[in-house]
Amino acid sequence: MRVQYFCPRPARSDILMVFRIGLSGDTKRMEPRWLDELKRWLDAYTNRFFGQDEYVNRHLRLKQEHTDQTREQILYLAGRLALDENRTRIAETIALLHDVGRFPQFARYRTYNDLRSVNHCCLGVEVLHQERVLESLPPQEREWVRIAVAHHGRKALPPDLDDETLLYLKLIRDADKLDILRIVTEIYRRHKDDPQKNSFEIELPDEPRMTPEVVEAVLAGQLIDYKCLRTLNDIRLCQIGWVYDFNFVASLERLQACNWLDELFSYLPQGEQVQSLRRNVSDYIASRLTDLA
């Protein structure tokens, strides 16, 4: 079922950022037909990895759906930021390609855990190079796509990037997180209803405890190192903590509209510690949304 979202006007800070970028000069135009060619290539490429293993196939279908939904999220954000047609096409291209490394990763290692396999962002850049996917793009647009694919999964934004490159990287990081939150809440719901029938990968033990280091990081509004995660609740805390890493007010509005955070909080042990976490997160979102005024 497709969720309907409200569309308030763009936040002032979001529009100002795009306006400043626009003053630096026009970008070269991406040919509209290139997107159609890219979609055909992506379908053919991802379908190479399907085979007799239904466990692998199921996770690959999930990643195909994620790619499509991330594309929808980035188009929503591009609309809210009032990006022109060319920048919107570049953003859409990045969304389509951002997780291209996930397909060979899961087919080979049977996991999406980069720490137990390979960095899917770096693998994605290798795929684009080996398949010569970006050769028909102007050099600058090729570089924007490559950098966005390479860095979309990093813990934090890399330093020393120009404003235009940062725009595309921030867009894909927000769009990616939004759809991951949609996916994980659905998976957690199925896992809660019947853990034995949940057919998707749950990487860590489903225990009531929460690692103190992870709790403290979320309370402090800090991003969490994935190496610190010990339980399924730690993963949920980490995903709740993504709220501090969203770049655009429009992303937080969509997050609020979908109630994904409330659902994540409902799976945690209820007590004063979790209530403090919820208050901190709610206060942070409220402070960011005042930017709409």
Higher pLDDT, 28 or 270: 270
Average pLDDT value for residue range 40-61: 97
Average pLDDT value for residue range 257-270: 95
Average pLDDT value for residue range 51-66: 96
Nearest Cα to 46, choosing from 68, 22, 14?
68
- The pLDDT assigned to 39 comes to 95
Burial classification of residue 241, based on how many CB atoms lie within 10 Å of its CB (0-12 exposed, 13-18 middle, 19 or more buried): buried
- The pLDDT assigned to 227 comes to 86
Average pLDDT value for residue range 79-103: 97
- The pLDDT assigned to 89 comes to 96
Average pLDDT value for residue range 217-238: 91
Q: Tell me how far apart the alpha carbons of residues 60 and 66 are, in angstroms, rounded to a whole number.
A: 10
Tokens of 219: 């309370």
Q: For residue range 145-199, what is the model confidence (pLDDT) as tens digits? A: 999 999 999 988 998 999 999 999 999 999 999 999 999 999 999 888 887 766 6
What percent of the chain has pLDDT above 90? 75
Is the pLDDT score of 50 beyond 60? Answer: yes
- The pLDDT assigned to 198 comes to 66
| Half-sphere exposure at residue 84, Cβ-oriented, CA atoms within 13 angstroms | 11
- The pLDDT assigned to 10 comes to 45
Q: Tell me how far apart the alpha carbons of residues 114 and 48 are, in angstroms, rounded to a whole number.
A: 21
Q: Tell me how far apart the alpha carbons of residues 113 and 111 are, in angstroms, rounded to a whole number.
A: 5
Is the pLDDT score of 31 beyond 90? Answer: no
Average pLDDT value for residue range 210-215: 95
- The pLDDT assigned to 205 comes to 86
Confidence of residue 2 (pLDDT cuts 50, 70, 90): very low
Give percent helix, percent strand, percent coil of the chain, each to the nearest 5: 65, 0, 35
Compute the mean pLDDT over every residue in the chain, rounded to the nearest whole number.
Answer: 88
List domains and CATH numbers for the chain. 12-175 (1.10.3210), 204-292 (no CATH)
Query: Quick check: 49 and 107 in contact, CB under 8 A?
Result: yes
Nearest Cα to 198, choosing from 184, 213, 219, 214?
184
Confidence of residue 256 (pLDDT cuts 50, 70, 90): very high
| Dihedral over Cα of 79, 42, 174, 147: its sign | negative
Q: How many angstroms separate the Cα of 271 from the Cα of each of 1, 128, 205, 288?
A: 33, 47, 21, 26
Q: For residue range 115-127, what is the model confidence (pLDDT) as tens digits? A: 899 999 999 999 9
Confidence of residue 14 (pLDDT cuts 50, 70, 90): low
